[in-house]
Structure 1
Amino acid sequence: MQLIIDSANLDEIRELVDYYPIDGVTTNPSIIVKEKKNFLQLLEEIREVIGCKRELFVQTLADHAEEIVKEAKYIRENILDKLVIKVPVTKEGIKAIKALSEAGVRTMATTIYTPLQGYIAAKAGAAYITPYVNRIEKLEGNAVNVVKEIVQIIEKHHFNSKVLAASFNNVQQVHDVCLVGAHGVTIPPDILRLCFSHRATEANVKVFIEDWQKEYGEKSIVDTNKIKI
């Protein structure tokens, strides 16, 4: 199961990649503009931070298929290595996904709200299907069930696609989509940190260190080994 960072902030990406088993980074126009940098320069810097083996997801902005394909080619010419082009699942977007898939370009079908949108995108050739979990719930939909049913459609009909769930507002949403078989999640840094943070863990570690230090006077096992008992 893939773990992706949903951010374009270089400091946050650098920290999370350094510490955790991150598989890639997703961006979108709204995330990009927050950084107030040249578009390609920022993408190049993200690529430098994450290396050539992790996937980088970049979204097109055009709303007509031919222009989407043109933008995708432009991005690919400038950003190398494992690149995935994000395309919203409008009518024009599906047409573009078909064309890009036929040209061997990996795509992510984004802004997914229903299982049938996921089905059409998978059949069009999208490598990733991305349901918007929190946004579905805001519309009073059952986001977890949408993720589950898209997974079932992909597996039942043997589509070469993965469900990469996105748009999370809390840890429980991440937990729920993991349980129903999502192939991956893309999570903003603040939610990602909460996924493995627990006050009991920190308290346990503190007690272990205090007990050891009371006996040996050192925090490090290496330093303790030098002491003759």
Structure 2
Amino acid sequence: MKFFIDTANLADIQEAQNLGVLDGVTTNPSLMAKEGICGAENVVDHYKAICAITDGDVSAEVIAVHYDEIIREGLELAKLDDRIVVKVPMIREGIKAIKYFSNAGIKTNCTLVFSAGQALLAAKAGATYVSPFLGRLDDISTDGLELISDIRLIYDNYEFPTQILAASVRHAMHIVNCAKFGADVTTSPLSAITALLKHPLTDSGLAQFLADHKRVSEGNN
């Protein structure tokens, strides 16, 4: 399973890259605003800075909701770098645009997916990635992991190449469970990725090893 980081924070992206497990980055206007990135030129420069850090795909979201504008924005984003994936909302005009981009050889990420039917449409249109939002489904007492399972079954039934990119992933167990249910990718904050490193038995075991080593070394002096 691929690990993407969901942020526009360059320091977090660099840290994930340094960890050696980063496969890509997802961003959106809210994440850009959180980093104080304002203005079209600054946003473009920030995408270029992200692409300079990671070797993987970088999802860059269009703002438009009308077909012609989605196409225009998407083409401009795709020109920035070969790693740019045009992130398009799951709406009627978005599906039309995904088909256009697919025919043009431009990678896409269909975002804001909350049902298996939506995921099926995205795959039919040729989306590179489809992004079901786990955390937001959990927020309304709906099982986001069941959606991952349903999409996996449908895609496997018909051998769709579209990759399941589990989004709105908030903690380490979301990542582990996504791996169990067959997601191709998870995108999450850095904190969720680094939480996978932690286990109290690892900490206590290492402390014991170091204590024993110290005792043996001092005994040899």
Which TM-score band (shorter chain)?
over 0.9
Secondary structure of residue in 2 paired with 1:176: helix
Structure 1 residue 81, shift from structure 2 partner: 2.6
Which one-letter code corresponds to 1:139 in the other structure?
I
- 1:12: which partner in 2? 12
Rounded to whole Å, the distance in 2 between the matches of 1:177 and 1:19 is 21
Q: Specify every segment of 5 or more residues in structure 2 that has no aligned partner in the other structure, as ranges.
A: none
Number of positions where the alignment pairs a residue of Structure 1 with one of Structure 2: 216
Which one-letter code corresponds to 1:2 in the other structure?
K
Post-superposition Cα deviations, 1:85-110, rounded to whole Å, max 9, x if no partner, equal: 11110111111111111111110111
Post-superposition Cα deviations, 1:71-126, rounded to whole Å, max 9, x if no partner, equal: 0111122x213221111101111111111111111101110100000000000000
Structure 1 moving runs of 4+ over 6 Å: none
Rounded to whole Å, the distance in 1 between the matches of 2:175 and 2:17 is 19
Secondary structure of residue in 2 paired with 1:196: coil
- 1:49: which partner in 2? 53
- 2:3: which partner in 1? 3
Post-superposition Cα deviations, 1:42-93, rounded to whole Å, max 9, x if no partner, equal: 111111122xx3111111110111111110111122x213221111101111
- 2:112: which partner in 1? 111
RMSD across aligned C-alpha pairs, in angstroms? 1.5
Compute the TM-score of the two structures, normalised by the length of structure 2: 0.92
Post-superposition Cα deviations, 1:180-214, rounded to whole Å, max 9, x if no partner, equal: 11111111111111122223212222221221122
Alignment of 1:14-163 (within 5 A): 14-37=14-37, 38-50=42-54, 53-77=55-79, 79-163=80-164
Bigger Cα Rg: 1
Post-superposition Cα deviations, 1:113-172, rounded to whole Å, max 9, x if no partner, equal: 000000000000001111000111222222111111111111111112110101023322
Q: Specify every segment of 5 or more residues in structure 1 that has no aligned partner in the other structure, as ranges.
A: 218-227
Percent of residue pairs bearing the same amino acid type = 31
